[in-house]
Chains A and B, each alone.
Chain A
Amino acid sequence: MTILRQLFNNIALLTAKNKKLSMMLGIILFVLFPFALNNNYILHILIIVGIYMILGVSLNIVTGITGELDLGHAAFFGIGAYISSLFTMKIYNNFWLGLIIAAIVSFIFGIILGIPSLRIRGDYLAIVTLGFSEIVRYVLLNWQDVTNGPMGINRIPLPSIMGYRIGTKQALFYLVYALVIITIILVRNLSKSRFGRALVAIRENEIAAAAMGINVGYYKVWSFAISAAFAGVAGSLFAHYMSFISPMNFTSNESILILSMVVLGGKGSIIGSILGVSVLMLLPEMLRFVSMYRMLIYGIALIAMMIFKPKGIIPENRMPGNYKKISFIKASKAQEHEV
């Protein structure tokens, strides 16, 4: 693992030094990849993995950075999916508008779920989030006039950009991963900023955080809301990609799956969440050759990971060594040049 970390650090340093070159390389690889791999089955899996990456990284804001156990993430995923598909099918057929409205509505529900966190913590809050997720599922199941109940919503339009339908798997792959990258950049900015520091301070010690002038309740609600908004985006992508959704897609099991991805990857670590999602999504697929024992191996792998690496695949590393050193040294050098 230390070798791996050194490798990461070296890559980070190299990319920081040759920013333009590495960006170009990254873009070229990214563009060529789906064509080189002209396999619809693998592309489908990778698209779903991408959607779950958005979910994992966004849940990491609440569970990893703010340190609150959240078992209701699938509810926001579902809200985003239903709002976006209902909007595009019944009101105005524009995918991007649907996506934004899904994010906004999820954001508002995030605030609503964030409010109990002002009074309750830990296990008790986990139960509240679980309850919230069940309420959302039951509303989706029983409000038949709007949600079509357990039959789900069918024929959700595919995404489109400026009138062009994004129909091929390749194009959908680009769309999903573009949003994954935006999510990662935004959440990374957040975690290294004044806002992110306030959130980790709350996680580490609420009383001391308040003594530093941090409005604990305000920041907690914001962290829930932002996390929910990203989940809403993921939901919208999922709905328009799959073109069929039903309440079965958004059960508490999903929430628990996303949570285990974040915990397995490493709470608070964004790269960790991405790896956690990849491992937990790809492992069952890769294990198909042992068909009968697939889930058994999957379970054992999960338990073994938690015993031998309880802090996750890549533990949170807020050491300035990684990110801050590079950016700060660069920034201060730039300042010197100006002077």
Chain B
Amino acid sequence: MELLTVNNICKYFSGLKAVDDVSFNVKKGEIVSIIGPNGAGKTTLFNVISGHYTATKGKKIFDGKDITDLPAYKTAEVGITRTFQNIRLFSNLTVLENVMIGLHTKLKASILDSLLNIAKTKEEEVQCYDNAMELLKQVNLENKCMEYANNLSYGEQRRLEIIRALASKPKLLMLDEPTAGMTMQEAMELVQFINHLKYEEITILLIEHNMRVVMDISDRVVVLDHGVKIAEGKAHEIQSNEKVIEAYLGRRKNSA
């Protein structure tokens, strides 16, 4: 059962083909990694999928619906949330409020309700607060809930960003280099956490440079180079794929 299908997606920046004719799919409950050398177009592809960029050509189908033309906020509403390569937290807000903003699509209060703060809205706010605290416990940040987000350590900020993206219970979670800048131990803790998400029926698409993480958790790997998909398959298959080795290490000289 395919959750996300990406068909012939292209993204051109006036002549520069950042993503060129990439197709792949993600099945429900899978963890799929996108790898590739720097500048391969991984993050651009992510931005296209999450609706932050509109595709030049191609189609995106999510859960049976065509989401090609949806803007970012609607893509989030249908159940795709993401984190960013260069962490984008609401840095002058508390950790708690960051997660409460993540719950935005789950709340119903209209603008008039908000202004008048009717009983129903108050109740919803209390629930939102409890809900956010519950989520923070999952990533061991409940003691830091009143801290400003920019006072957290790097690893904590990554965790906060992930839990903020998970708050709205997305069907597909997209992680852009979640272990970047982490120590090996922190990275492995994160891997455990991601693996645990699998049991909550959350499908994950991630960009990752840390090969150990990729090999550990991916069901499948998609390899990009210069905006083009050069390989796709199980992790161990990719390891021995010649095109992939060439993209990362360069071509072996044809010496006798």
Chain A interface (Cβ < 8 Å from any Cβ of B): 186, 189-190, 192-198, 200-201, 204-205, 207-216, 222, 226, 318-321, 324, 327-328, 331-332, 335
Contacts and interface: CB of A to CB of B under 8 A. Distances in A.
Given A222-B111, A320-B96, A332 B146 contact: no
A318 B95 CA distance: 11
Contact of B115 (A190, A216, A318): A190
Nearest to B79: A213
B126 interface: yes
Contact of B117 (A189, A204, A207): A189
Contacts of B168: 212-213
Contacts of B126: 328, 331-332, 335
B182 interface: no
14 contacts: A190-B114, A190-B115, A193-B114, A194-B114, A204-B91, A207-B84, A210-B72, A212-B101, A212-B104, A213-B76, A213-B81, A213-B105, A226-B111, A332-B126
Interface string B81-93: 1101000111111
Contact of A193 (B82, B90, B121): B121
B-side interface mostly: helix
A193 B109 contact: yes
A204 B122 CA distance: 25
Given A205-B89, A205-B90, A211 B117 contact: no
A216 B114 contact: no
B102 interface: yes
B97 interface: yes
Given A195-B111, A197-B97, A204-B91, A321 B73 contact: no
A233 to B, nearest CB: 14
B96 A211 contact: no
A332 B128 CA distance: 12
A200 B72 contact: no
Contact of B72 (A198, A204, A211, A319): A211
B50 interface: yes
A324 to B, nearest CB: 7
Contacts of B211: none
Contact of B97 (A190, A209, A318): A318
Nearest to B164: A212
B207 to A, nearest CB: 15
A205 B73 contact: no
Top 8 closest A-B pairs, CB basis?
A: A193-B114, A213-B76, A204-B90, A213-B105, A195-B114, A210-B72, A189-B117, A208-B88
Interface in B102-138: 102, 104-105, 107, 109, 111, 113-117, 121-126, 128-130
Nearest to B121: A193
A83 to B, nearest CB: 22
B88 A319 contact: no
Interface in B31-62: 50-52
Contact of A200 (B50, B74, B93, B125): B93
B92 A320 contact: no
B50 A328 contact: no
A267 to B, nearest CB: 11
B188 to A, nearest CB: 27
A216 B124 CA distance: 22
Contact of A195 (B76, B109, B122, B130): B109
Which of B73, B89, B91, B124 has the most chain A CB within a 10 Å cutoff?
A: B73
Which of B101, B107, B116 has the most chain A CB within a 10 Å cutoff?
A: B101
Contacts of A212: 73, 76, 81, 101-102, 104-105, 164, 168
Contacts of B104: 194, 197-198, 201, 212-214
Contacts of B113: 193
B94 interface: yes
B237 interface: no
Which of A193, A210, A327, A335 has the most chain B CB within a 10 Å cutoff?
A: A193
B88 A189 contact: no
A328 B129 contact: yes
Nearest to A197: B101
A195 B52 CA distance: 22
B77 interface: yes
B175 to A, nearest CB: 12
A192 B109 CA distance: 12
Given A216-B73, A319-B94, 18 more contacts: A192-B125, A193-B113, A194-B109, A194-B114, A194-B128, A196-B114, A197-B97, A201-B101, A205-B88, A207-B52, A207-B84, A210-B73, A211-B165, A318-B97, A320-B94, A320-B146, A328-B126, A328-B129
B134 to A, nearest CB: 13
Contacts of A192: 125
Contacts of A324: 129
Contacts of A189: 114-117
B139 to A, nearest CB: 17
A76 to B, nearest CB: 18
A319 B98 CA distance: 12
B85 to A, nearest CB: 12
B244 interface: no
Nearest to A325: B146
B71 interface: yes
Nearest to B102: A212
